[in-house]
Amino acid sequence: MVTSSECINKTDEQIVVLTLKNQDYYLCLMKRYEDKLLNYILKISNLSREDGEDILQEAFIKAYQNLNDFDLNFKFSNWIYSIAHNTTISAFRKKKVRPQTISWENKDLNNLLKSTLDAENTSLQKLTYKHILKIINQLPLKYKDVLILKFVEGKDYQEISDILHKPMGTVGTLINRAKKSLKQELKKEDITLKKL
């Protein structure tokens, strides 16, 4: 059994090579991405936590089966995000679930709002927080997706392009439209953010 200490100083790409020789190393990769990917899946899909975990399992198995397709010239994180994204979208379409309001961490929501609304710092009332989440969840998936990747996951344009398999120019356009759309929706609901 491979222990996590054996992976500490290794890059994702090095662990991929090791995993192809010994499947136990795959645990290190999964551990590195488990939380991040589950959060990402839940945020873009609005699925319940149980459904999100099922999707993550499916994504990890898909990634393992396709490990030989991973190009070492690319970043593993983009590749695994891309698989998680595609698995979520197909599961989401299959299930046609009713939207649920998944709770976000305050810092994630603040990051998103700060970048979208160009506000320095924001404090949210409990009621407003729920309201804003509802608005975000009602945005079209393509907008919600890029906003989360850019402002919550902190990915740059090239990374988002590799995850969503879209040209960088298209990613830029999507982000601008998504910000505009979110601003409009917030304005429509008359939500004002109190600056700290």
- Report whether 31 contacts 72 (CB < 8 A): no
- Closer residue to another protein (CB): 49 or 180: 49
CB of 149 to another protein, least distance (A): 15
Residue 69 engages another protein in binding (rule: CB under 8 A) = yes
Q: How many CB atoms lie within 10 A of CB 178?
A: 23
CB of 92 to another protein, least distance (A): 19
Q: How far apart are the C-alpha atoms of 40 and 149, rounded to whole Å? A: 8
Residue 78 engages another protein in binding (rule: CB under 8 A) = no
- Closer residue to another protein (CB): 70 or 113: 70
Token duo for residue 45:
């899909």
Residues 136-175 as x/- pattern, contact with another protein by CB under 8 A: -------------------------x---xxxxxx-----
Q: Which of 170, 159, 173 is nearest to 80 (CA)?
A: 159
- Closer residue to another protein (CB): 23 or 101: 23
Q: How far apart are the C-alpha atoms of 77 and 71, rounded to whole Å? A: 12
Residues numbered 27-66 forming contacts with another protein, rule: CB under 8 A: 27, 30-31, 34, 38, 49, 53, 56-57, 60-61, 64-66
Q: How far apart are the C-alpha atoms of 71 and 178, rounded to whole Å? A: 31
Q: Which of 97, 88, 86, 83 is nearest to 53 (CA)?
A: 88
Binding site for another protein (CB under 8 A): 20, 23-24, 26-27, 30-31, 34, 38, 49, 53, 56-57, 60-61, 64-69, 71, 161, 165-170
